Amino acid sequence: MSSPAAGLQAGTNCTQPRVRKSWDAYSTTEKALYIEAVGLAMDQGFFQKFVQVHVDTTSGLEAHQTCVFMLWHRMMLLGYENMLRSLGTKYQCVTVPFWDHLSGTARRASGNCTNLQACSPIIADLGGTTTGYSKSMSIYGATIPYTSRSLCINQGPLYHFCGNNSGCAHCVLRTRSSYMTTTAYPTEASFGSVYQQMFTYNDSGSFSNAVERGLHSTYPKDCAYTIHNALGGVMAYLQAPADPVFYSHHALVDLLQTIYLKCQNGAENVFLSATAKSSDSRFWTSCARRDTGTFSPSDNITMRATAFDGSTFVKVWQDPKSILYPFFKDLPTAYADYVDAKDLGNYSYTYAFAGGLANMYQNCRASNTISSSSFLAESSETYGDSDAYKRNDAPLVPTVEAGTASDDTMRRWNIALFEAARIVGYEEWAAREQMEMITCQHQADCLGGVEDYSDIYRTNFEIEGHLRCYSIVQDLASGARVIGIPNWKVITGRFLPCPARCKATAQAPNPKLTMASMLRRTIWLAFVVLSLLNPSVDGQQVGTACSDPRVRKSWDAYTDTEKALYIEAVGLAMDQGFYQKFMQIHVETASGLEAHQTCVFIYWHRMLLLGFENMLRSLGTKYQCLTLPYWDHLSATARQANSNCSSIETCSPIITDFGGTTTGLSKSLLVYGVTIPYTTKTICVNQGLAYHFCGNNTGCAHCVLRTRSRYLTATLYPTEASFGSVYQQMFSYNDSASFSTAVERGIHNTVHNAVGGVMAYLQAPIDPVFYSHHALVDLLQTIYLKCQNGAESVFLSAASKASDPRFWTSCARRDTGTFSPSDNITMRATAFDGSTFVNVWQDPKNILYPFFKDLPTTYSAYVDAKDLGNYSYTYEFSGGLANMYQNCQASNTISSATLLADDQQMGDANYPDNGNKRSREPLRPTVDAGTTHDDVMRLWTIALFESARIVGYEEWAAREQMEMIACQHHTDCLGDVEDYSDIYRTNFGIEGHLRCYSIVQDLASGARVIGIPNWKVITGRFLPCPAQTGGKPLAFA
């Protein structure tokens, strides 16, 4: 092997500044010289030793997935460049060319090329992908396997590559041309995405991590190896430096750090002090090492290869016994020294760039702005119809009444939000999502926050995931979702206050520890014996003696007389032992496997509620027309939003009317062998009808466990129970299973969770509010059914109930098998022997049999509440519920609404200068004009950004919109975005997905929303959509 060219400091003999430029800007002569130098480095054995540096385990622990990723590779590139420069006088001014991905993706988007290879001349110039050997590569003991997709290229400089193994390979493994020409340029390498990676962060660790996960990228747990992954071949392995394009790709990554540094400094002539390099978080951020300890700015860089003995690993900058020592020996060795490329002494360098890179360097965050931009237009909408089977007999029709002023305010607010979203271009589904997002965020901003599941509720109901609004607010905070309605706070402020909440703790009075006479188990059993008598007062079918239609209504609509009668009936049911047996059904294991987390959740509980209602009606003639009152959460949350009440307790009279949360006993509840434990946050309420509850254990509890007043009065009503969120749960789906799941995980779970006490357990039916809460859930299904049918006078055929996915959707059971519409409902309690579990509708030897025996038993029979024969029922409602029932998906629309106002533009970002200026002039990048393709890409991104700002997005959100559109445009017009290949995932232990893959998946699932109106129209004015137009520019009327 030849020794490096003369000169104390290898690579510094050139008298010109060290300026790296794009391969696209190289002249033919410059390209030939660089290719010659690389081939010579391979011939002399230097080139492959850099591969060894990159694959060395200890070095790799610093090189990837760390905050020093860029700084580590900066040292490696400089050593490599020094090596090329040392090969002879003719090479002494060679620099590593960078691969301008922004220009390449601009060409691709403009339709001037169609794939990663065609848009990147550097691939063809450095050997191409067409001619070579069908063979594997063996490098430093690792085999890079040949596959049908790959080819070991033996053209150009690649013929010179040998590796370190016996026999010279004379080739480098790349993805074969037939596959490369169908490989799209990753969107993460385009201006819109790189802009996000560049300017989203103000600390070096996050910036480096974003670029490593994005454009570069090498992060196993997220969106990584974008270019590495797309190229495949050896570039999908840690042996990637075997391919010369590796260095040009990394030179582009390195260039981005120089732009970041300039923009953070605020000027190009700023030098940083040693202190700033090691302590200013914009330039240095410590992070944990991948083995042990933490990176320090003064740490020496670990960069190792074997010494001349071929076995001992030494640091290439430290030990003269390494072939690479001359190229590293005079370089700085500490990480902080590599913060600024223009401040490396004789090894200082800079870049010459054009197009999008020049734009970023010159304008920083303002690189996607102009003084003004519109590009807004109207959008169209379509609606579908449905048909159903009609019968001649008239169904029960709900009673619809006017709502309260609070209901009207809530409706008008939601109308304003929806119409505002539609006006700025959202499609209906997206406008509804915006509505719910704002509802949740308003709760977080103005009403004290949103809650997640309590540990107790999560444990008892085996809940996974998070409450709906909790997830939404978290997503908004993280940027995974974006509110795109301009001035939504202004719109909201026209309808709802935003009080500065003072959460003064309401002190509960000392509980009155009264000791009631104890009711023994034998006495309870006597009630069981009494129940053997037919509890029906009139008629064979229990609960049908009333001559009036069975109409359930809101507890808020009950008169004092009606309230007193219902409370009396529930207390009597407790006294006679019927009540607690319904709780046993709810906790029974086989029943529970059908009742919760299944597609039959609503139908199962519909049968339970009917049996409970029948039981109350059977207690005597005076109760024969009783119906379950429902808990109108929509009206209550409207009151809370209007500041007429401040918590779930103060907004819900039903809690107080059913015993309140103030007076009771400090004791646990023991029910069917399970203890519901007392805590400092709970109280066993013994007021009103709660006093009648006994349970089935020795000694009568005479109380129901609830959250104490001082805590419940500080518990906000969950936003998932408000109109905006319930609207989403109701109208986002057209199949019964998805609807049922949305409601179960939405309003159902959140209220259980918020109320706490026994409502956080499967023993929830102990508390009478359980039945009113579930009556509201049941009511929502009647609205869903009417809206899917298209009219309230429609009856479904038996076939429709069992096969139309809008009304029946089969799903997997939680144990084994699949639910069928003809399946009998499992609803079990113990028989009279106290130990054998039987279906309550099937076996006369159980206390609840009379209340269920005449009810339908199959799931599909419960699809329509108004079609249950003598047990048919309906609801009376008002306010938001009435609005939903009458107007369905149009319940948030009016003929016109603007309610938009001008938004104040954010000021330009300021970049404080924390560095100190030196007298000597630093190297400055050479800035050239870009191509027309670069200009088109810049204008497009400007148009998108300005459009987003015009409709009210803050800067960070506008940038996210830009990237989302770039990814979605790629999918729509340029072909699907790709995820990691299996090979790459395996070699680097990758988890997660590529950045654009995740974004497009989120957009498809609705986890993210593009909120720029008519973004496709805007895009079509700049870029073609080959997938839709065959490469021709889009034409719009």
Tens digits of residue pLDDT in 342-389: 899 999 999 988 877 887 788 787 654 432 222 222 222 222 333 344
User: What does the pLDDT look like over 483-537, one tens digit per residue?
Assistant: 988 778 888 887 777 864 333 323 222 222 222 332 333 223 333 333 333 343 3
CATH code, domain with 850: 1.10.1280.10
Residues 870 and 930 in one domain: no
Domain boundary among 862, 877, 892: 877
> Is the pLDDT confidence value at 678 over 80?
yes
Looking at residue 447, what is its pLDDT?
67
Residues 795 and 786: their CA atoms lie apart, in Å, by 10
Residue 469 lies in a domain: no
Sorted by sequence, the CB contacts under 8 Å of residue 28 that are 6+ apart come out as none
Residue 13 lies in a domain: no
Residue 221 lies in a domain: yes
Residues 661 and 748 in one domain: yes
Taking residues 94-105, report their average pLDDT: 89
What total number of domains does the chain contain? 2
Residues 753 and 835 in one domain: yes
Strands in 700-857 per DSSP E? 704-707, 828-830, 837-839
* CA 386 centroid distance within chain: 33
- pLDDT band for position 295 (cuts 50, 70, 90): very high
Token duo for residue 575 = 């006294």
Greatest mean pLDDT range, 565-574, 909-918, 1026-1035: 565-574
Sorted by sequence, the CB contacts under 8 Å of residue 47 that are 6+ apart come out as 38, 41, 83, 160, 161
Residue 292 lies in a domain: yes
Neighbours of 379 (CB within 10 A): 14
Token duo for residue 389 = 């089977």
pTM: 0.49
Rounded percentage of the chain residues whose pLDDT exceeds 70: 76
- pLDDT band for position 701 (cuts 50, 70, 90): confident
Helix/strand/coil for 1035: coil
Residue 14 lies in a domain: no
Residues 860 and 930 in one domain: no
Residues 47 and 100: their CA atoms lie apart, in Å, by 23
Closest CA to 549 of 298, 1012, 876, 895: 876
User: What does the pLDDT look like over 122-153, one tens digit per residue?
Assistant: 999 999 999 999 988 888 878 888 888 899 99
Rounded percentage of the chain residues whose pLDDT exceeds 90: 38
Neighbours of 29 (CB within 10 A): 8
Largest CA distance in the chain: 113
Residues 209 and 69: their CA atoms lie apart, in Å, by 8
Residue 561 lies in a domain: yes
Token duo for residue 399 = 């009673």
Domain boundary among 840, 860, 877: 877
User: What does the pLDDT look like over 163-200, one tens digit per residue?
Assistant: 766 568 899 999 998 888 877 676 667 666 677 688 87
- Residue owning tokens 């957009």: 1003
Residue 645 lies in a domain: yes
- Residue owning tokens 């059993």: 525
> Is the pLDDT confidence value at 270 over 50?
yes
Is residue 151 within 8 A of residue 173, CB to CB? The reply is yes
Neighbours of 907 (CB within 10 A): 7
> Is the pLDDT confidence value at 469 over 90?
no
Residues 639 and 774 in one domain: yes
> Is the pLDDT confidence value at 272 over 50?
yes
- Beta bridge partners, 352, equal 21, 926
Token duo for residue 211 = 């670029």
> Is the pLDDT confidence value at 1036 over 50?
no
Residue-number span of the structural domain to which 761 is assigned: 527-877
Residues 274 and 209 in one domain: yes
Sorted by sequence, the CB contacts under 8 Å of residue 29 that are 6+ apart come out as none
Residues 348 and 340: their CA atoms lie apart, in Å, by 9
Residue 685 lies in a domain: yes
> Is the pLDDT confidence value at 733 over 60?
yes
Looking at residue 833, what is its pLDDT?
82
Residues 873 and 932 in one domain: no
Looking at residue 398, what is its pLDDT?
62
- Residue owning tokens 């042990």: 292
- The β-bridge relationship of strands 874-877 and 926-927 is unpaired
- Residue owning tokens 């070699």: 987
Degrees to nearest 5, angle at CA 299 with 298 and 305 = 145
* CA 841 centroid distance within chain: 43
Residues 731 and 743: their CA atoms lie apart, in Å, by 11
Residues 866 and 964 in one domain: no
Residues 803 and 942 in one domain: no
Residue 270: how many CA atoms within 13 Å on its side-chain side? 23
Quote the mean pLDDT of the chain: 78
Please state the length of the chain: 1037
Sign of the CA dihedral 453, 457, 460, 461?
negative
Helix/strand/coil for 446: helix
Residues 574 and 643 in one domain: yes
Tell me the CA distances in angstroms from 856 to 547, 794, 869, 870, 1026, one per residue in order: 21, 20, 9, 11, 57
Residues 865 and 968 in one domain: no
Residues 849 and 955 in one domain: no
Looking at residue 147, what is its pLDDT?
87
User: What does the pLDDT look like over 769-791, one tens digit per residue?
Assistant: 999 999 999 999 999 999 998 87
Domain boundary among 813, 844, 877: 877
Residues 905 and 953: their CA atoms lie apart, in Å, by 10
Residues 397 and 578: their CA atoms lie apart, in Å, by 31
